[in-house]
């Protein structure tokens, strides 16, 4: 295996002169995958797996996505007011052990384990929480005696066979904020991530049963604006909570792909979605971006290019005009591969990636969901590995969080032509970027390709085989801090 990797690296190095300034893949790009735990969609694959099986599955999952070129995992750690980690506030998830409230045996902390496995591969860990879903299935979900639906039953409403926190109650918002604060305080996560489920999707002929709460709220707003105000309030509260505990932890939302249709709002998109963020889920994602309450948005653009009701390219353009300086990652529907003529098209995903890379205001992609990559749908895993994600990418830094560059690494070369890389700066780093640049090209990072991202807290070694393979290229090394700022580079001579 080592020999094969060396040959691949050699092939890449000697072929770099053919690469022009317009690189195949940008050096900065978010490449994330959603890992759903609810109903055992992605991980763990079953409720009755042993601890060793759970660990083995996650290692295999993380390794697969690293191989495909990903640099972030978005893992669902609170699917239904439960926990994939030891918590004094909520019980262990039934999707982990088969029965809510039962800890894994032998005991371990799945969240800590997943963070460590993700970070050791140089990937970010985004902790995905569902804010308001409390019981996934009212008929057969396992509910512990100390579950919040039993200790505070008046906080919940039943709708469509599920139980939801009542978003109109201030005490509910404070409770969710306490959950988030606990996670941010105890774990080395890179982001808190929430999906599209705020108020639930409408069910035809059924109204969400919050009329009593609305009447007693004393609000002068109509019910729709009152619901939106409730969602605004929790997003603002969570933003303040996260930043007060750890200012480097990002806050991201993955909304339904349509904010509003143009038929409802001149500022909406030229789409005909049956439900929208603003009008049905009461999530005014545009306001949250304007106010700077969130750091990134990952809209679920799960329609193909040319869809008659919601065209991917129309929505891609719309979201790029409404980022308000925050990061935009496009959500792709890998799960739809093979489900229709449009999704049997092997070029669909590649064309979506090529389209988003035309926008400087789009910083990358997220894919739903993890298990779909196991079967290499439409050959898309191959396409990512061999083409679109063939070279590593650094997650774009967020200057409003941190814009200070780490110190330049120090290089030492011994008599055997082996380079030792040392970082002794004050900023914490997560590794080094090794760049290759054709000898006849101006030495700027924009003109170089990233050969490798070396995970390390302070030292690295570049061996003579790598140097020997770069016969027609110059090699440079730079430090990457934990907020993805990259130092000035230094050449390996």
Check which CATH number belongs to the domain holding 470 and give it.
Answer: 2.60.40.10
Same domain, 482 and 381: no
Which of 388, 412, 429 is where one domain is finished? 388
Same domain, 404 and 326: no
Same domain, 404 and 453: yes
Query: Which residues on adjacent β-strands are paired with residue 76?
Result: 128
Same domain, 375 and 448: no
What's the DSSP call for residue 346? Answer: T
What pLDDT sits at residue 2?
38
Which of 359, 388, 417 is where one domain is finished? 388
Inside any domain, residue 244: yes
What pLDDT sits at residue 14?
42
Is a pLDDT exceeding 70 seen at residue 325? Answer: yes
pLDDT, averaged across the chain: 94
What pLDDT sits at residue 383?
97
pLDDT digits (tens, 9 = 90+) for 82-129: 999 999 999 999 999 999 999 999 999 999 999 999 999 999 999 999
Same domain, 166 and 186: yes
Q: Does residue 364 sit in helix, strand or coil?
A: strand
What pLDDT sits at residue 376?
98
Average pLDDT of 293-302?
98
Q: What percent of the chain has a predicted confidence (pLDDT) above 70?
A: 95
Q: Does residue 43 sit in helix, strand or coil?
A: coil
Q: Give the integer Cα–Cα distance in Å for 155 and 56.
A: 38
The whole-angstrom distance between residue 26's C-alpha and the CA centroid of its chain comes to 18
Inside any domain, residue 351: yes
Tell whether omega for the bond before 459 is within 30 degrees of 0, i.e. cis. Answer: no
Average pLDDT of 141-148?
97
Report residue 86 as tokens: 């030891």
Same domain, 169 and 38: yes
Same domain, 316 and 416: no
Report residue 237 as tokens: 């509260």
Same domain, 383 and 423: no
Is a pLDDT exceeding 80 seen at residue 371? Answer: yes
CB-based contact 98:105 (threshold 8 Å):
no
pLDDT digits (tens, 9 = 90+) for 188-220: 999 999 999 899 999 999 999 999 999 999 999
Domain count of the fold of the chain: 2
Same domain, 328 and 419: no
Query: Which residues on adjacent β-strands are paired with residue 104?
Result: none
Q: Does residue 274 sit in helix, strand or coil?
A: coil
Same domain, 135 and 262: yes
Strand arrangement of the beta sheet that strand 459-462 belongs to: 410-413, 419-422, 459-462
pLDDT tier for residue 471 given thresholds of 50, 70 and 90: confident
Inside any domain, residue 376: yes
Print the SS3 string covering 221-261: CCHHHHHHHHHHHHHHHHHHHHHHHCCCCEEEECCECCCCE
pLDDT tier for residue 272 given thresholds of 50, 70 and 90: very high
Query: In Å, what is the CA distance from 454 to each residue of 62, 123, 420?
Result: 17, 11, 13
Check which CATH number belongs to the domain holding 65 and give it.
Answer: 3.20.20.80
Same domain, 71 and 128: yes
CB-based contact 237:178 (threshold 8 Å):
no
Same domain, 323 and 472: no
Return the minimum-mean-pLDDT range out of 362-366, 381-385, 443-447.
443-447
Inside any domain, residue 278: yes
What does the angle CA 478 – CA 453 – CA 3 come to, to the nearest 5 degrees? Answer: 125
What pLDDT sits at residue 24?
59
Cβ–Cβ contacts within 10 Å for residue 386, how many? 11
Q: What percent of the chain has a predicted confidence (pLDDT) above 90?
A: 91
pLDDT digits (tens, 9 = 90+) for 12-64: 444 444 333 333 589 999 999 999 999 999 999 999 899 999 999 999 999 99
Domain limits for position 454: 1-25+400-493
Which of 325, 356, 388 is where one domain is finished? 388
Inside any domain, residue 13: yes
Average pLDDT of 453-475?
88
Burial class of 202 by CB neighbour count within 10 A (0 to 12, 13 to 18, 19+):
middle
Q: Give the integer Cα–Cα distance in Å for 136 and 79.
A: 8
What pLDDT sits at residue 415?
85
Q: Does residue 30 sit in helix, strand or coil?
A: strand
Of the CA atoms within 13 Å of residue 306, those in its CB half-sphere come to: 6
Average pLDDT of 237-261?
98
Enter the pTM of the model: 0.95
């Amino acid at each position: 295996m080592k020999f094969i990797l060396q040959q691949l690296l050699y092939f890449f190095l000697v072929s770099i002169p053919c690469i022009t300034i317009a690189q195949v893949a940008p050096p900065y790009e978010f490449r994330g995958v959603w890992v759903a735990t609810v109903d055992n969609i992605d991980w763990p694959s079953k409720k009755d797996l042993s601890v060793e099986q759970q660990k083995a599955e996650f290692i295999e999952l993380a390794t697969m996505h690293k191989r495909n070129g990903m640099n972030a995992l978005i893992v669902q750690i609170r699917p239904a007011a439960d926990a994939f980690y030891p918590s004094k506030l909520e019980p262990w998830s039934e999707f982990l052990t088969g029965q809510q409230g039962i800890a894994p045996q032998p005991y371990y902390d799945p969240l800590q384990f997943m963070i460590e496995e993700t970070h050791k591969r140089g990937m970010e860990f985004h902790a995905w929480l569902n804010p308001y879903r409390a019981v996934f299935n009212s008929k057969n979900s396992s509910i512990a005696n100390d579950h919040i639906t039993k200790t505070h039953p008046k906080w919940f409403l039943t709708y469509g066979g599920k139980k939801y926190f009542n978003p109109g109650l201030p005490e509910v918002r404070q409770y969710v904020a306490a959950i988030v604060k606990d996670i941010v305080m105890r774990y080395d996560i890179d982001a808190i991530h929430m999906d599209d489920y705020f108020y639930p999707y409408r069910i035809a002929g059924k109204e969400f049963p919050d009329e009593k709460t609305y009447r007693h709220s004393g609000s002068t707003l109509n019910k729709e604006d009152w619901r939106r105000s409730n969602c605004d309030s929790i997003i603002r509260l969570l933003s303040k909570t996260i930043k007060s505990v750890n200012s480097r932890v990002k806050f991201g939302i993955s909304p339904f792909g349509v904010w509003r249709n143009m038929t409802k709002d001149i500022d909406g998109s030229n789409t005909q979605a049956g439900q929208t963020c603003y009008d049905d889920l009461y999530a005014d994602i545009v306001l949250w971006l304007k106010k700077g309450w969130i750091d990134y948005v990952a809209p679920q653009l799960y329609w193909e290019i040319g869809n008659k009701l919601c065209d991917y390219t129309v929505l891609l353009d719309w979201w790029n005009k409404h980022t308000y300086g925050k990061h935009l990652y496009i959500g792709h529907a890998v799960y739809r591969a093979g489900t229709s003529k449009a999704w049997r098209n092997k070029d669909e995903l590649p064309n979506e990636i090529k389209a988003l890379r035309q926008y400087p205001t789009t910083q990358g992609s997220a894919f739903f969901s993890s298990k779909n990559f196991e079967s290499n749908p439409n050959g898309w895993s191959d396409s990512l590995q061999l083409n679109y994600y063939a070279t590593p990418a650094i997650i774009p830094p967020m200057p409003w969080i941190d814009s200070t560059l780490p110190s330049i690494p120090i290089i030492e070369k011994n008599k055997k032509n082996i380079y030792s890389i040392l970082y002794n700066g004050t900023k914490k780093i997560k590794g080094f970027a090794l760049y290759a640049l054709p000898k006849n090209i101006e030495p700027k990072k924009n003109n170089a390709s990233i050969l490798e991202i070396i995970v390390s807290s302070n030292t690295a070694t570049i061996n003579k085989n790598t140097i020997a393979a770069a016969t027609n290229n110059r090699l440079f090394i730079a430090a990457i801090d934990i907020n993805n700022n990259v130092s000035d580079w230094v050449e390996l001579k």
